[in-house]
Structure 1
């Protein structure tokens, strides 16, 4: 697998427009960007490519990083920064399956697959393909499994992507807090590479209206609010899952500039060969 991080930021990205904070300034000085989340997975054996999540920045990501157009797409959940780039399929792609979970979200009364099909009913280029969590399926010659995670109030899914011939494995936590269940952790465990959600350092929980959650024995929050892991939580999860290598993604510009570009914090365009 050849894996390219197309987008590694949160909903506003880094640099954030009209922001002159130290972290955004440092990103501009370094010439790096964290656009909205998306991952490109190329199977060199079959020549096919799987796109994980359709960032609103997808057009510029494809141009900047010069990756092949996707042969299949997977949508992890229905938040705009993971879904709204799907409109780029219009006059760009044709006959592309879009995989998404089939279980009903109590919050919306629809599955992710149903929401995608309803919102993009006008796109003849795509066909929504519902899939059940924990049940592996084939996409682009790879074995893919949707793994339920915790991103309230909506359902959301991480991923395990494995090459059936080489045994290499890419895991993605998806947008999630630290409270990922044991069955999901087991399915994500032992990856060659992990992309793990982490939005801010734990100290920022004091600025969240409801604080943090999942504290460790020293009181360090591993969840910021309810939806995302802290940087500390992401690192603990990477260790718990025994990842050979990992990058923290979905990063915000609220990480102090002196910490925001540590080696384990992803930036757009990083490439990995598994």
Structure 2
């Protein structure tokens, strides 16, 4: 299993257009980017590739990273920064299944699969394949499980991906706060590599209208607002899941520059072999 981080940023990415903050300027100086989130997982045994989330930066990511176009796609939830790159299937991809959860979202009245099918009804090159969370399915020679996480007000899913031949395992937290269920933690547990959503340091919760949540024994918030983990929360989650290796993703440009490129914070183009 060869895993490439195509996009490691939040909804605006880093550098953010027209932003001259210290973190964006430092990213430019370093020559690194954090485009909108997406992961490429290549099966070297079968020659197939799985794309996790269709970033709006799809075209740029596939131009700048040396990876193959996907043979299948998974959509974790319907926020634009994880979905709107799917339009790139037009004239580019051919007969690609798109997997998404079949649970009805009380907020929208549709499942993720139904929303994708409705929004991209004009794409005859894709076929939406609804899947039940916690029930493993096969694609690209991998065993994949959609894992419910907490990203209110919409349903959202993390992923557990395993190569049944080699035993290599990848867990992706998805966009989530720290308060995911024990069942979901069990499904994501003990990966070789884990990508964990951490958007800002806990000290930034003072600027969020809802503050923070899920504080630890020292009063440090592990959730920023309601939707995402803090950097501290993401690190705690990686520890909770007993990940052999982890990378922080979905990072924002609001992380102070002296912290924004710490060793465990991912940038686009990182590649791992499991």
Fold-level match, TM-score > 0.5? yes
1:45-64 mapped onto 2 (5 Å cutoff) = 45-64=45-64
2:65 maps to 65
Shift of 1:116: 0.0
1:233 maps to 233
Residue 257, structure 1, aligned to residue 237, structure 2: no
Residue 21, structure 1, aligned to residue 28, structure 2: no
Shift of 1:66: 1.8
User: Structure 1: how far apart are the matches of 2:16 and 2:253?
Assistant: 7
User: Structure 1: how far apart are the matches of 2:210 and 2:262?
Assistant: 28
Q: Secondary structure at the match of 1:199?
A: coil
Q: Provide TM-score, normalisation by structure 1.
A: 1.00
User: Structure 2: how far apart are the matches of 1:223 and 1:151?
Assistant: 11
User: Structure 2: how far apart are the matches of 1:42 and 1:218?
Assistant: 41
User: Structure 1: how far apart are the matches of 2:146 and 2:232?
Assistant: 25
Q: Deviations over 1:103-143 (max 9, x none)?
A: 00000000000000000000000000000000000010000
1:21-100 mapped onto 2 (5 Å cutoff) = 21-100=21-100
Unaligned runs of 5+ in 1: none
User: Structure 2: how far apart are the matches of 1:5 and 1:254?
Assistant: 21
Q: Secondary structure at the match of 2:191?
A: coil
Residue 120, structure 1, aligned to residue 120, structure 2: yes
User: Structure 2: how far apart are the matches of 1:76 and 1:203?
Assistant: 28
Q: Deviations over 1:45-101 (max 9, x none)?
A: 000000000000000000100210000000000000000000000000010000000
Residue 183, structure 1, aligned to residue 183, structure 2: yes
User: Structure 2: how far apart are the matches of 1:227 and 1:121?
Assistant: 29
User: Structure 2: how far apart are the matches of 1:201 and 1:131?
Assistant: 34
Q: Secondary structure at the match of 1:116?
A: helix
1:162 maps to 162
Count of residue correspondences: 274
Q: Secondary structure at the match of 1:209?
A: coil
Runs of 4+ more than 4 Å apart:
none
Shift of 1:217: 1.2
Q: Secondary structure at the match of 2:196?
A: strand
Q: Secondary structure at the match of 1:196?
A: strand
Q: Secondary structure at the match of 1:210?
A: coil
1:202 maps to 202
Q: Deviations over 1:217-243 (max 9, x none)?
A: 111000000000000000000001000
1:151 maps to 151
Q: Secondary structure at the match of 2:156?
A: strand
User: Structure 1: how far apart are the matches of 2:94 and 2:149?
Assistant: 31
Q: Provide TM-score, normalisation by structure 2.
A: 1.00
User: Structure 2: how far apart are the matches of 1:168 and 1:126?
Assistant: 28
Shift of 1:19: 0.5
2:142 maps to 142
Shift of 1:263: 0.9
User: Structure 2: how far apart are the matches of 1:162 and 1:37?
Assistant: 20
Unaligned runs of 5+ in 2: none
User: Structure 1: how far apart are the matches of 2:240 and 2:37?
Assistant: 23
